[in-house]
Structure 1
Amino acid sequence: MINVAKSFLPPFETYTEYLKGIWERGHLTNHGPLVNELEEKLRDYLGVKHFFFVNNGTIALQIAIRALDLKGEIITTPFSYVATTSSIVWEQAEPVFVDIDPETFTIDAAKIEESITERTTGILATHVYGIPCNTVEIERIAAKFNLKVIYDAAHAFGVQHRGKGVMNFGDISTLSFHATKLFHTVEGGGITTNDDDVAHRIAYMRNFGHKGQEDFWGMGINGKSSEFHAAMGLCVFPYINEILETRKELSQYYETCLAENGIKLQRPIITLDTNYNYSYYPVVFETEKQLLAVRDALNAAYIYPRRYFYPSLNKLVYVNNRSMEVAESVAARVICLPLYHDLSKENIRRICSIIGDILKY
């Protein structure tokens, strides 16, 4: 069986060494030493001023919205994982969708300004598949209209953009460290900011608002993660450069094999000023019918790509369903092929051969 993703696991003995330390200390959660160590390593690696390790990427988004006090309308993308939209609605704000760029699949910054109203308080944009948004234009618009900016960077771990880590753009960036991500802590997420005041609020918000044992700074939520999850992160972290290099090599091999099979499929454009992380391998077919035929043929061979991201989020039952022509079209025709650290080149050849056979007819 070949799934779309497979978790990278470090040597078992390395993880159990961390477990021994947890048992000896008896400190399982509530900002233990391993959580603190992981936060420090990731802050330095990502090149940001403040980094907070939380228990998942959705909580990261919810805390980000609260920390920036976003209410009313939030401009966002219809092409992302559902948590990008559901977090806005969960926090009792209204998502206002702006269609996506047909080349990068990120939010079309040229269309943002026309959707801004007096109720707009922020922009929540996704670096889709790890491909950075048009940060220059989004920053210009945010400054012009005094809006806050959150980047959902769940797919963008390790990406460099315009000469620096992509987490340095916007007021807050959020990450997911779910087991399927290239860097993971089994379950987990992260929040980054370079703003001291925003960091102050996040620090309290992720821990119920506690200010000591008997006082509260304000309202918060349980966003903490455990020593066990931090231990996995610390075990995976030393391999991150190897993981990134392997994913790049496998992605390039897909390019070679697709070409050898005479397959020409649209791929999202990665801007020249980006050092990419190869977090996914999305391909876009000419029609949804083609996509479904390829998916079924791959499934019959026990190969399971996934329709990241389908449906277009403006189609969710709990949002205002405005037509998003580009997002709906891409969502219907895009699929992510299997990509993970120990995926063999032989299996990539099999995948491309099956796709080629289907597209010949």
Structure 2
Amino acid sequence: MASAKIIQLPQADLKSNEKVLVTQPYIPPLDKYMHFVEQAFDNKWLTNGGPLLKELTNRLKDYLGVKHLLIVNNGTSALQLAYKLKDLSGKTALTTPFTFPATSTALEWQNVNIRLADIDRDSWNLSASNCKTQIQKGNVDAIVPVNIFGAPCDLEAFDELGKKYDIPIIYDSAQALLSKYKGKSIFDYGDIHCVSFHATKLFHCIEGGALIFKNKEDLQRAESLINFGISEGGIVKEAGINAKMSELHAAMGLCVLDDLDFLVENRQKSVERYHSELSDCVELQTTSYDSYTPPMYMPVKFENEQELLRVNEQLNLHGYSARRYFYPANNKYIDEKRLNDLATNNQITDSILCLPLMHGLQYKHIKNIAKLISF
């Protein structure tokens, strides 16, 4: 295979050993983090619902405007707990083929049968209308939509399906902590939302996650499940796991939460610059309803996979790292007999690429990336 022609950029912005990654975690000042760590050490309380975790929980509830929030050790545990809470073992859940593997592997871990429905052409989210078609074929006990790249699904449509067919709607909102739908928080919809506080997210605790519940009963049961199933009086009523967050992870969360508005503003400017530079040469993720997508990722869609591969090669040659989220993550669960049911997914998900986006990304790099894409 012939080597790619290297496009000449107007300025040599990267040193020979330098690379702009697809993302980087926000690292707060070390002395600020150590201030909280010292509190944990002084308290001699490192885990099991310590003061820092309680402070983080209360501050997040206020920040997000939610009542029933439970912080856990990671987003995958949040998904497993949600599926457990809705007693889905041995039952069938509808979800999307276009998502990070944890959405479906957590279902498999909970012994839930997985059925895939197609995605929407513009938002790349699970299609509510396609889910309705699948439900009408029978044997669907829950829907697990994913707010992909933080863009909200059509939440009202999924709520209507949940009510009409009396099935729970469990959202994988790992990427959507700050997302809005028709001017409201996404957490006003559905039965449970599972979010991730992984280091790659806008808000992070190094590792962590949370569940946000519609009702208090699910919260109370989940509080027992994350502590081995132990309830009041030390009685184990059902098998649980250890999914508690430590004080040292909560300390990082408190640091990042202090700076979150600033981080969002900074990254939002980068997203707007990308949109201005790229709107004529790639497709951008859109929704047909009023929504807000936080600046978590910078996904773009190319005309086809060949064009994506060409651009990705040029980006790598010039020191820019992009990533094919989420490809081919869910192929394991695609039933060959149902390929026709996933026509939109099959047409577009092999041509989506996420471009570098992080706090402090310089405008010159965005312009260089745009030049490499539009060449």
Normalising by structure 2, what TM-score? 0.90
Residue 275 of structure 1, CA deviation: 2.7
In the alignment, structure 1 residue 206 sits paired with structure 2 residue 223: no
Q: Deviations over 1:169-198 (max 9, x none)?
A: 110000011101011110111100120111
Name which of 201, 205, 221 aligns with 1:185.
Answer: 205
Q: Are the structure 2 counterparts of residues 173 and 136 from structure 1 closer, same or farther at C-alpha, using a change threshold of 3 Å?
A: same
Which structure 1 residue ranges, 5 or more long, are not aligned?
A: none
Partner residue, 2:195: 175
Name which of 55, 66, 70 aligns with 1:52.
Answer: 70
Q: Percent identity?
A: 34
Separation of aligned partners in 1, 2:234 and 2:201: 38
* Native 8 Å contact 1:48 1:194 kept in 2: no
Q: Are the structure 2 counterparts of residues 271 and 40 from structure 1 closer, same or farther at C-alpha, using a change threshold of 3 Å?
A: farther
Give the residue type in structure 2 aligned to 1:34.
L
Separation of aligned partners in 2, 1:266 and 1:347: 20
Separation of aligned partners in 2, 1:302 and 1:246: 22
In the alignment, structure 1 residue 341 sits paired with structure 2 residue 359: yes
SS at match of 1:112: helix
Residue 242 of structure 1, CA deviation: 1.1
Partner residue, 1:113: 132
Partner residue, 1:310: 327
Aligned positions of 1:91-130 closer than 5 A: 91-116=110-135, 118-130=138-150
In the alignment, structure 1 residue 231 sits paired with structure 2 residue 251: yes
Q: Deviations over 1:52-103 (max 9, x none)?
A: 1111111100000001112311011111111111111111111111100001
Further displaced range: 205-214 or 327-336: 205-214
Give the residue type in structure 1 aligned to 2:211.
I
* Native 8 Å contact 1:312 1:328 kept in 2: no
Give the residue type in structure 2 aligned to 1:115.
Q
Residue 271 of structure 1, CA deviation: 4.5
Normalising by structure 1, what TM-score? 0.94
In the alignment, structure 1 residue 30 sits paired with structure 2 residue 30: no
Separation of aligned partners in 2, 1:25 and 1:77: 45
Separation of aligned partners in 2, 1:181 and 1:203: 24
Residue 24 of structure 1, CA deviation: 0.9
Further displaced range: 204-213 or 141-150: 204-213
Q: Deviations over 1:276-312 (max 9, x none)?
A: 3121111111110110111111111221110011116
Which structure 2 residue ranges, 5 or more long, are not aligned?
A: 1-18
Partner residue, 2:164: 144
Give the residue type in structure 1 aligned to 2:28.
P
Residue 272 of structure 1, CA deviation: 4.5
Further displaced range: 245-254 or 211-220: 211-220
Name which of 20, 26, 33 aligns with 1:2.
Answer: 20
Partner residue, 2:153: 133
SS at match of 1:173: strand
The number of aligned residues is: 352
In the alignment, structure 1 residue 245 sits paired with structure 2 residue 260: no
Structural RMSD (CA): 1.5
SS at match of 2:54: helix
Separation of aligned partners in 1, 2:260 and 2:370: 27
SS at match of 1:303: coil
Residue 255 of structure 1, CA deviation: 1.9
* Native 8 Å contact 2:97 2:334 kept in 1: no
Q: Are the structure 2 counterparts of residues 305 and 254 from structure 1 closer, same or farther at C-alpha, using a change threshold of 3 Å?
A: same
